[in-house]
Structure 1
Amino acid sequence: QEAAVQTDEIQVAIKTFPLFSKMVKLVSFIPFTSAESALENINAVSEGILSEFLRTFLESHLPSKNRGKITVGVSEDKLGSSIQEEFGVTCVRTGPVQELLRGIRQHLSKFTELSEGDLEKAQLGLGHRYSRAKVKFNIHKADNMVIQSIALLDQLDKDVNTFSMRVREWYSWHFPELVKIVGDNYMFARLVKLIKNKTNISEDIIDQITEIVADADKAQEVYSAARTSMGTDISEIDLKSIEDFTDKVINLTEYRLRLQQYLLKKMGDCAPNLSALMGETIGARLIARAGSLTNLAKFPASTVQILGAERALFQALKKKGNTPKHGIIFHSGFIQKAAAKNRGRISRYLANKAALASRIDSFSETPTSIFGTKFRGQVEERMVFYEKGVKPRKNIDVMREAMLELAKEESEKPSTSNK
């Protein structure tokens, strides 16, 4: 209640500078020496790091004795924790602190005798530099492209499947036998575009049908079925509508294949070790679920293990049942091949290696898939150990091999470029 009263008083005082200046007194103010210094400090604030500039300022103005009794108001919790750990003062963010900081920002030009125009220009310039620094990325670390690609790929899978079923149902009124002969949606759409009206089919297109279905016997079966089909006749205008829609399905399917190749390349550039261990698609799903490669690298192995199964986890905790053993990584070939009794152990081990691979990909300067390949070998050895009891190699030995291969790879790069 006292904090609420203080907040109300501050809100009233903020409206006029004379009233607010009686409540807050400026002791010291140090401007940034350059735009680079300002950007460096705002980045440190956003990450909760106590910069050298701020450390020197606080060291100069905080009393050296009885610091435990001093309360410092801050706008960022993480920064407050860093200040509290460094100087032993109490940092507060809640209550009237936020209102006081709002008033200081509003009347800063009057406290410091800076012109409002210069202050606004400085704030705008710093805001632009900070935003540019945040959105700037290394082309080899473009995890945002991976996130967007895998999301689009999932959406395309749903849409293409829905549209393909519509083509099958629509064209089946005219040529119902084709559905049973050709099961692949892409092949079916291409055959619809090729055959069109089944009554006009001739032996001249059997070779083209064979090229699509990659089977001469099946091509002959399609031709024979078209000649003896029990389907209804179709008008030219209806057939044109089916052809137009079929073209869209074919284009979407072909675009999906190109997008898949793009994703494989991007994952090879962005997270080569995670791709080598988990596969590009599963690795991309993990990155998308975590929000970024850096976020995934910060997760412990236990979080990576159940990533994607959060709802099942909370339901299990609520009902006090068995918690899930795996989330997205369930689709990995390792877990699919493992015996049911070993899936929990394999998923833990695989999540451990995935966490390590993501950290290497996120924080290493030179992209390489050596560690991911070694991790994959370790998972395979672990599966053999669970099934047959063959003892796997020690982790330290495998890492030594990886480091030797990495050193060899780096030593060969200059000679390759010279050639």
Structure 2
Amino acid sequence: MALHLLFESASGYSLFHAYGLDEIGQNTEAVLDLTRFSKVIKLTSFHPFSSALDALNQCNAISEGFKHWIMTEELRNFLEMNLPKVKDGKKAKFSLGVAEPKVGSQVFEVTKIPCQSNEFVLELLRGVRLHFDRFIKDLKPSDLEKAQLGLGHSYSRAKVKFNVNRVDNMVIQAIFLLDTLDKDINSFSMRVREWYSWHFPELAKIVNDNYLYAKIAKFAENKSDLSENHIPELSELVGDEEKAKEIVEAAKASMDLSPIDLINVQQFAQRVINLSEYRKKLYEYLVTKMNDIAPNLASLIGEVVGARLISHAGSLSNLAKCPSSTLQILGTEKALFRALKTQGNTPKYGLIFHSSFIGRASARNKGRIARYLANRCSIVSRIDCFSEGNTSVFGQKLREQVEERLDFYDKGVAPRKNVDVMKDAIESVLNVAEKDAGE
């Protein structure tokens, strides 16, 4: 009985005819020798893929053979055109060797072509894979490697649904850096205040904002040089002409520093200004990434708190897997275990305490609103993690529901039911999708 081999490569489908197999017999090492192997295996047909997308579609179809693979028309036409036809009711005089038995069974169901998959067929296919570039004319080994690498990357991205705009690691790094910058800027700003106050102590009482204080210290330099002519420029810095006049008036008191001391103060103040400006840019970047990765979570609880939750959980998928009771106390692990050990009161909230909802609730309702908010955060994190669309509608609707729950605790106004809120959110998403489709 004749044996044909189906080989799927990154470049296309191939059919090989195996004959004279007695020369190889059970000596599987013979497949390594191209001279001997080429005497018993001949290429009968090669069907190249039309594009990289076509190769990806065919690869996805073959890989699904482990479950419920649907045979592609391209492969079916290729087999029917290059293999002998099988008449109904008659036994075929050939068989098709395939790598996967389940793929072979599906080919048999669709085309009635008998298939087989055993150790001997797998050894022959191993030899075909090893010497494939020698069988195809004008195909260089480097071309095959490029096709395999490109298809491998495309296939992996499709399997994990990779999206460069939804990499939560960027959010984790950004929020870590943002928190570090906040501590450093606060510490450095206090150092600028103490350092420059030896020269201009009155300025600390006039200007409270650290960033603005550093900018004025950089602008003023030696306070004895300040005059009425500098009031317009100072007004632009502080945004208030009266405060600018107050600064100029306070600078008339006599207390000087050496030039070298002033130079060092100015340089350090410039560093603080640069750090503060970078912190603003980093915050804008974090807001943008959160709206790409977890728009609903950002709409519900804010970009910074949402990013801290993702960072503490390790990833958005880990946060989505957390039950609401765990999400509620994320960030209070030490206090929780200490309370369990001493049999004391367990904490009611962790990182979500920084949400404005907790601050607005009365003392006796903080625990209840924290539990409710954690439940809403758990829902939107799962929507953000597992939904393919990028919308913040669910976060906005659930935020309205949390607002209604606050009113319920304070005023007794009955909030909407969960079913009604989710129906409203789904209708809004569908309306937006229809509007975009119409445009």
Match of 1:182 in 2: 207
Of residues 182, 190, 199, the one that matches 1:165 is 190
Q: Tell me the distance in 2 between the aligned counterparts of 1:376 and 1:36.
A: 41
SS in 2 for 1:175: coil
Match of 2:356 in 1: 333
AA matched with 1:207: P
Match of 1:301 in 2: 324
What RMSD in Å do the two structures reach over aligned CA positions?
3.4
Match of 1:142 in 2: 167
Indicate how the Cα distance of structure 1 residues 131 and 251 shifts in structure 2: closer, same or farther if over 3 A, else same: farther
Pair 1:197-2:222 in alignment: yes
Match of 1:397 in 2: 420
Match of 2:252 in 1: 227
Structure 1 gaps, min length 5:
1-34, 45-49, 59-111
Q: Tell me the distance in 1 between the aligned counterparts of 2:154 and 2:397.
A: 39
CA drift of 1:216 comes to: 1.7
1:98-148 CA distance string (max 9 Å, x none): xxxxxxxxxxxxxx9989xx8xxx9x989x969975998413312111111
Match of 1:264 in 2: 287
Identity of aligned residues (%): 54
CA drift of 1:369 comes to: 0.9
- Per the normalisation by structure 2, the TM-score is 0.65
AA matched with 2:170: M
- Per the normalisation by structure 1, the TM-score is 0.68
Pair 1:210-2:238 in alignment: no
Q: Tell me the distance in 1 between the aligned counterparts of 2:209 and 2:156.
A: 47
Pair 1:320-2:343 in alignment: yes
Of residues 369, 387, 398, the one that matches 2:392 is 369
AA matched with 2:165: H
AA matched with 2:191: R
Q: Tell me the distance in 1 between the aligned counterparts of 2:244 and 2:339.
A: 53
Runs of 4+ displaced beyond 3 Å:
50-53, 112-115, 128-137
The equivalences for 1:87-98 within 5 A come to none
Match of 1:82 in 2: none
AA matched with 1:287: I
Q: Tell me the distance in 2 between the aligned counterparts of 1:356 and 1:207.
A: 53
Structure 2 gaps, min length 5:
1-54, 70-99, 103-122, 131-144
Match of 2:138 in 1: none
CA drift of 1:323 comes to: 0.9
SS in 2 for 1:323: coil
Between structures 1 and 2, the one with greater helix share: 1
Match of 2:406 in 1: 383
CA drift of 1:223 comes to: 0.7
Match of 1:251 in 2: 274
Q: Tell me the distance in 2 between the aligned counterparts of 1:366 and 1:184.
A: 41
Q: Tell me the distance in 2 between the aligned counterparts of 1:211 and 1:326.
A: 43
Of residues 267, 273, 282, the one that matches 2:305 is 282
AA matched with 1:305: Q
SS in 2 for 1:274: helix
CA contact (8 A) 2:171 2:286 kept: yes
Q: Tell me the distance in 2 between the aligned counterparts of 1:366 and 1:129.
A: 23
Q: Tell me the distance in 1 between the aligned counterparts of 2:394 and 2:218.
A: 47
Indicate how the Cα distance of structure 1 residues 131 and 36 shifts in structure 2: closer, same or farther if over 3 A, else same: closer
Q: Tell me the distance in 1 between the aligned counterparts of 2:356 and 2:285.
A: 22
Indicate how the Cα distance of structure 1 residues 245 and 135 shifts in structure 2: closer, same or farther if over 3 A, else same: farther
CA contact (8 A) 2:295 2:384 kept: yes
CA drift of 1:414 comes to: 2.8
CA drift of 1:218 comes to: 1.3
Q: Tell me the distance in 2 between the aligned counterparts of 1:266 and 1:277.
A: 15
Q: Tell me the distance in 1 between the aligned counterparts of 2:229 and 2:218.
A: 15
Equivalenced residue count is 320
